[in-house]
C-alpha cells in the first residue's frame, strides 16, 4: 500500500514511549527499515499497515490518514507556480518541509493563498474581494480536512433530536414537522418563493417555507439544516470559535456545519454505517432507504470516522463543467488540487460525457499510488420553464486496497495494473511530460524543440 504514514507511526511510537527496536520487533521488520518508514523513505504494505494499527490499537484508516502527504501535495502545487521557477526546489525538499515543519508549511500556504488572490489583477477593491473569497473557501476546506470531516458533538446533537422526531411519528418528514411545531413553534410548508430561493423563515408568522419546486430530499435537507441552527447552534459556534478561522470564513463554516448536522439527522450514524456495510456502499440504494440525494449520501459517507466504528476512508470532489472544484476532501490519500485545474483524465470530468451512469476508474498517481474512483454527473435546478440548470460531477473514491468493500468494484480486477488510468494533480506539477492532454508545461522542465518533429500536444515536447 502506497500511503505514507511514517510521521504518524513515529508520533504514536513516541507518545507510547516505545523504542524503535521494540516496535520493529513487534512488526517483524528491522530497526533500520522502521527508521526509513518513519522518515517516509519506504512505503507501507497493507499487511504491515494492519499490523501497526493492531499494535497501537487504532483503525487502519485512522493510521493511514495523515496530514503530511496532503500538505506536501499542496506545497508542490504551490511551488509549481512560475514565481518559483528559479528556486531549484526538489519534491524531496518540499516533502521534508511538510514532514518536519507542517506549521511552517501551512503558513506558507496561507500566504500564497493571499498572494494568489491579490495577484489576480484588477482594482484593489476587486482584489480584496477575490482574496477574501479564496482564503474563505480554502480555510473552511482545511478546517474540515483537519477534523477528518467528523464532528462528534454534532453527531450527538443530531442523534438526540432524531430520537424525539422518531418518537413523534414513524415518518421522518411528519416527525420533523411535528418537532419544529412543538419545540420552535414553526410550521413547515412549501410555497412559491422567488427564483433561486430555497428556504425562507418567517418568524413573524411562525413559518418555515421551502420552495415548492425543490425535490423532496432537498426540501427536507434545507429544513434540517435550519434546525441545526436552532437545535445545535451552541455546538456549532463552539466549533467555529475553537477553529480560529478568518472572520470572513465563519459564515461559510457555519453553513458547512449546519449541513453536516442535517446529514447526521437524516442519515443517523449507526444505521447509515450499517447500510453502507450491508449494501457495500451502494449509493443509490442507500439514497432510496434514507430518501437522500446522490450527493448527500456521498458526502455523508466521508464523515464515518467514529472511533471504533469507522467506514472506508474516502475522498470526495465536486466540480462543474468548467472544472471549478467546489468541494474537496480526502481521507483516501489522493491529492485534490487546491488551486490549479485537476487532471482531465480523471473520471470526475469524464462523467459529464455519460451522465446517466456511475463511471468507474482505477486512477494511478505519478508516485504509483492507485485509487478506486467512481463519478456521476448530476443536474440541479431547472425546475421551472426556461430556468438554467447546473451540471455538476460528484467523485467519490478510496485507496485501491479498500476497493473490494465497494459494490462498484464487482467485475473489476483491481489488481490488474493495465486497467489503471494515469492521472496527475495538475499539469504544472505532473511529471508525465509526454501526456497528450497536457494543458501547460511542467514546472521546472525546460522544453526543447525539434522543428523536424512535432508532438501531437505542443506542451508534451521533451
Predicted pLDDT at 128? 43
Residue 291 reports pLDDT greater than 50: yes
Predicted pLDDT at 427? 74
The pLDDT of 108-121, averaged and rounded, is 71
Q: How far apart are CA 86 and CA 95, in angstroms?
A: 19
Q: How far apart are CA 193 and CA 210, in angstroms?
A: 7
The pLDDT of 439-443, averaged and rounded, is 68
pLDDT tens track for 391-404 = 999 999 999 999 99
Predicted confidence band of residue 444 (pLDDT cuts 50, 70, 90): low
Predicted pLDDT at 69? 66
**Backbone phi, psi, residue 421, to 5°:** -100, 125
Query: Which of 177-181, 342-346, 377-381 bottoms out in mean pLDDT, i.e. has the lowest?
Result: 342-346
Q: How far apart are CA 228 and CA 219, in angstroms?
A: 14
Predicted pLDDT at 126? 42
- Which three three-digit cell numbers place residue 275? 447500510
User: Residue 96: which of 75, 123, 80 has the closest Cα?
Assistant: 75
Name every residue whose Cβ is closer than 8 Å to that of residue 13 and which is 6 or more positions away in sequence: 19, 20, 23, 38
- Which three three-digit cell numbers place residue 282? 451502494
Residue 71 reports pLDDT greater than 60: yes
- Which three three-digit cell numbers place residue 55? 499494535
The pLDDT of 10-25, averaged and rounded, is 85
The pLDDT of 49-67, averaged and rounded, is 72
Predicted confidence band of residue 388 (pLDDT cuts 50, 70, 90): confident
Q: How far apart are CA 390 and CA 76, in angstroms?
A: 32
pLDDT tens track for 225-265 = 999 999 999 999 999 998 888 888 899 999 999 999 999 99
Query: Quick one: how far is CA 222 from the chain centroid?
Result: 21
Residue 170 reports pLDDT greater than 70: yes
Predicted confidence band of residue 205 (pLDDT cuts 50, 70, 90): very high
- Which three three-digit cell numbers place residue 96? 521534508
Residue 3 reports pLDDT greater than 70: no
Residue 81 reports pLDDT greater than 60: yes
The pLDDT of 159-166, averaged and rounded, is 97
SS (H, E, C) the chain: CCECCHHHHHHHHHHCCCCHHHHHHHHCCCHHHHHHHHCCCCCECHHHHHHHHHHHCCCHHHHHCCHHHHHHHHHHHHHCCHHHCCCCCCHHHHHHHHHHCHHHHHHHHHHHHHHHHHCCCCCHHHHHHHHHHHHHHHHHHHHHHHCCCCCHHHHHHHHHHHHHHHHHCCCHHHHHHHHHHHHHCCEEEEECCCCCCCEEEEHHHCEEEEECCCCHHHHHHHHHHHHHHHHCHHHHHHHHHHHCCCHHHHHHHHHHHHHHHHHHHHCCHHHHHHHHHHHCCCHHHHHHHHCCCHHHHHHHHCCCEECCEECCCEEEEEEECCCCEEEEEECCCCCCCCCCCCCCCCHHHHHHHCCCCCEEEEEECCCCCEEEEEEEEEEEECCCCCCCEEEEEEEEEEEHHHHHHCHHHCCCCCCCHHHEEECCCCHHHCCCCCCCCCCCCCCCCCCCCCCCCCCCCHHHCC
Q: Judging by beta carbons within 10 Å of its beta carbon (0-12, 13-18, 19+), is residue 198 exposed, middle or buried? A: middle
* φ/ψ bin of 381: left (φ > 0), alpha (ψ from -120 to 50), beta (otherwise): left
Interior/surface letters 314-350, b for 16+ CB within 10 angstroms, e for the rest: bbbbbbeeeeebebbbbbbbbbbbbbbbbbbbbbbbb
Which domains, from first to last, does the chain contain?
A: 6-64 (1.10.260.40), 152-266 (1.10.10)
Query: Which of 6-10, 156-160, 305-309 bottoms out in mean pLDDT, i.e. has the lowest?
Result: 6-10
Predicted confidence band of residue 75 (pLDDT cuts 50, 70, 90): confident
Among residues of the chain, what percentage have pLDDT more than 90? 50
Predicted pLDDT at 401? 92
Predicted confidence band of residue 11 (pLDDT cuts 50, 70, 90): confident
Amino acid at each position: 500500500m502506497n500511503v505514507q504514514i511514517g510521521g504518524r507511526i513515529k508520533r504514536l511510537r513516541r507518545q507510547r514511549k516505545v523504542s524503535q527496536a521494540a516496535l520493529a520487533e513487534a512488526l517483524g521488520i528491522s530497526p533500520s527499515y522502521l527508521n526509513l518508514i518513519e522518515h517516509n523513505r519506504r512505503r507501507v504494505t497493507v499487511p504491515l499497515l494492519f499490523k501497526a494499527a493492531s499494535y497501537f490499537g487504532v483503525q487502519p484508516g485512522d493510521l493511514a490518514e495523515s496530514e503530511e502527504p496532503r500538505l506536501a501535495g499542496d506545497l508542490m502545487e504551490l511551488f509549481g507556480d512560475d514565481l518559483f521557477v528559479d528556486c531549484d526546489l526538489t519534491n524531496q525538499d518540499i516533502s521534508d518541509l511538510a514532514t518536519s515543519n507542517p506549521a511552517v508549511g501551512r503558513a506558507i500556504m496561507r500566504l500564497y493563498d493571499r498572494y494568489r488572490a491579490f495577484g489576480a489583477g484588477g482594482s484593489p477593491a476587486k482584489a480584496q474581494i477575490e482574496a477574501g473569497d479564496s482564503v474563505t473557501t480554502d480555510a473552511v476546506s482545511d478546517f474540515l480536512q483537519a477534523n477528518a470531516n467528523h464532528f462528534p458533538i454534532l453527531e450527538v446533537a443530531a442523534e438526540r433530536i432524531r430520537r424525539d422526531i422518531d418518537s413523534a411519528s414513524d415518518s421522518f418528514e411528519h416527525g420533523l414537522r411535528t418537532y419544529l411545531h412543538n419545540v420552535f413553534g414553526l410550521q413547515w410548508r412549501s410555497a412559491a418563493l422567488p427564483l433561486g430561493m430555497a428556504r425562507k423563515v418567517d418568524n413573524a408568522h411562525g413559518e418555515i417555507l421551502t420552495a415548492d419546486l425543490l425535490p423532496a430530499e432537498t426540501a427536507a435537507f434545507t429544513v434540517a439544516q435550519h434546525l441545526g441552527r436552532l437545535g445545535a447552534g451552541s455546538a456549532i459556534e463552539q466549533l467555529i470559535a475553537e477553529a480560529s478561522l478568518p472572520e470572513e470564513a465563519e459564515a461559510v463554516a457555519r453553513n458547512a456545519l449546519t449541513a453536516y448536522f442535517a446529514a447526521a439527522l437524516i442519515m443517523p450514524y449507526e444505521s447509515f454505517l450499517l447500510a453502507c456495510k450491508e449494501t457495500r456502499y451502494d449509493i443509490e440504494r442507500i439514497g432510496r432507504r434514507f430518501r437522500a440525494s446522490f450527493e448527500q449520501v456521498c458526502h455523508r459517507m466521508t464523515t464515518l470516522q467514529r472511533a471504533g466504528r469507522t467506514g472506508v476512508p474516502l475522498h470526495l470532489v465536486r466540480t462543474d463543467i468548467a472544472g471549478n472544484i467546489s468541494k474537496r476532501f480526502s481521507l483516501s490519500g489522493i491529492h485534490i488540487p487546491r488551486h490549479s485545474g485537476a487532471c482531465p483524465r480523471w473520471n470526475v470530468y469524464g462523467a459529464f460525457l455519460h451522465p446517466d451512469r456511475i463511471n468507474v476508474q482505477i486512477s494511478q498517481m505519478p508516485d504509483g499510488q492507485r485509487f478506486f474512483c467512481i463519478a456521476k454527473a448530476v443536474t440541479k435546478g431547472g425546475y421551472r420553464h426556461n430556468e438554467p440548470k447546473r451540471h455538476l460531477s460528484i467523485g467519490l473514491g478510496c485507496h485501491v486496497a479498500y476497493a473490494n468493500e465497494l459494490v462498484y468494484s464487482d467485475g473489476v480486477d483491481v489488481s490488474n495494473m493495465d486497467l489503471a488510468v494515469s492521472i496527475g494533480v495538475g499539469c504544472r506539477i505532473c511529471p508525465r511530460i509526454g501526456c497528450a492532454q497536457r494543458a501547460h508545461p511542467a514546472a521546472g522542465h525546460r522544453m526543447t524543440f525539434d522543428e523536424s518533429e512535432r508532438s501531437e500536444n505542443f506542451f508534451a515536447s521533451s
